């Protein structure tokens, strides 16, 4: 059977939310803060820093967004911190993605569920990549998977999510699509963020990297890594057009990592509405369109209740994929 990311993971919905500035809902964040649930250099860190900068540039917040890196447990440490210690923080938002939904789907945040927080909005979708170091002998995705077929222990693949997380799952989807019968034989090594995973690739500790376009871009630009497959239906536009897809190499593997935010479950309605409106206005701006183009983000425009429903659907569908692949029972 061929596994691909489900439509809910790559769908884009244009909701036409009207722009409303922060403060229009009767709330203004005094000390805006964003938790990135991983070390610097990964996708969650990118989401917090880029959104925080853009919100300030557009005048949607009047103070610099403080970014706090809180790594551990594939986002579980940050989720527990918000639920147990920061539940009523109105100034706080937390970067989330398909990796968050994956860990929730697999019950990897012990005692925690998606309804313990409030889901704010998405800011785009980040297609997955598989990459190797610039001096690797591997030139294509089939070459890498052939090596795994021949000797699974000879190839280690690093990612920024925990074992069983979204980075891991993307590799398993590709391996399964290529006909590797026991995808659990694929050797995956988890690090606290994509930046750390790429560092291990460059050090020669692992043979490949799995992550997202936004995580890989800086290392591609510096010439340190080569992308051997993008997990998108078709080639991306612009400067990403040179990256081959898995599909064009005969491997039907598609995986998009949505990016967005959740907030503490006890956040006031006024604060929640303000953050939702601010992110909606950010998304609609020309500045954010440029950020998306530069970083290879695909459209995904969901806010408030629609975003919450999307996350719920994502969790249900990832549970189905995880069961079929053997991650969970």
Taking the domain 7-126+256-325, which CATH number applies?
3.40.190.150
> 38 with 77: CB under 8 angstroms?
no
CATH 3.40.190.10 domain locations along the chain: 127-249
> 129 with 69: CB under 8 angstroms?
no
CATH class for the domain made up of 127-249: alpha beta
Global pTM reads 0.80
Q: Could you list the pLDDT tens digit for every one of the 329 residues in the chain?
A: 233 433 333 333 222 233 344 444 579 999 999 999 999 988 999 999 999 999 999 999 999 999 999 999 999 999 999 999 999 999 999 999 999 999 999 999 999 999 999 999 999 999 999 999 999 999 999 999 999 999 999 999 999 988 888 899 999 999 989 999 888 899 999 998 888 999 999 999 999 999 998 888 889 999 999 999 999 999 998 889 999 999 999 999 988 899 999 999 999 999 999 999 999 999 999 999 999 999 889 999 999 999 999 999 999 989 988 887 788 88
Q: What is the model's pLDDT at position 325?
A: 77
Biggest CA pair distance of the chain: 62
């Amino acid at each position: 059977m061929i596994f691909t990311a489900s439509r809910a993971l790559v769908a884009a919905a244009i909701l036409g939310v009207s722009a409303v500035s922060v403060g229009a809902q009767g709330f203004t964040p005094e000390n805006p803060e964003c938790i990135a649930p991983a070390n610097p250099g990964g996708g969650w860190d990118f989401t917090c820093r880029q959104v925080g900068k853009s919100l300030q540039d557009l005048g949607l917040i009047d103070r610099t967004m403080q970014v706090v890196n809180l790594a551990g447990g594939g986002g579980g440490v940050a989720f527990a911190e918000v639920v147990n210690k920061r539940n009523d923080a109105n100034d706080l938002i937390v970067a989330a993605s398909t990796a968050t939904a994956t860990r929730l789907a697999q019950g990897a945040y012990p005692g925690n569920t998606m309804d313990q927080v409030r889901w704010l909005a998405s800011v785009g979708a980040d297609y997955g990549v598989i990459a190797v170091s610039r001096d690797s002998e591997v030139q294509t995705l089939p070459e890498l998977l052939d090596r795994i077929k021949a000797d699974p222990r000879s190839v280690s693949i690093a990612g920024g999510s925990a074992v069983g997380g979204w980075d891991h799952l993307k590799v398993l989807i590709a391996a399964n699509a290529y006909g590797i019968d026991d995808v659990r034989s694929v050797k995956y090594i988890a690090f606290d963020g994509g930046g750390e995973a790429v560092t291990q690739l460059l050090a020669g500790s692992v043979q490949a990297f799995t992550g997202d376009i936004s995580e890989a871009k800086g290392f591609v630009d510096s010439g340190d890594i080569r992308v051997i497959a993008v997990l998108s239906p078709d080639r991306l536009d612009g400067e990403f057009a040179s990256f081959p897809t898995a599909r064009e190499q005969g491997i039907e593997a598609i995986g998009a990592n949505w990016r967005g935010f959740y907030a503490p479950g006890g956040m006031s309605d006024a604060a929640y509405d303000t953050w939702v409106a601010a992110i909606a206005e950010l998304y609609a701006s020309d500045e954010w369109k440029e950020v998306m183009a530069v970083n290879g983000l695909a459209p995904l425009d969901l806010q408030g209740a629609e975003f919450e429903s999307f996350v719920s659907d994502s969790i249900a569908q990832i549970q189905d994929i995880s069961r079929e692949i053997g991650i969970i029972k």
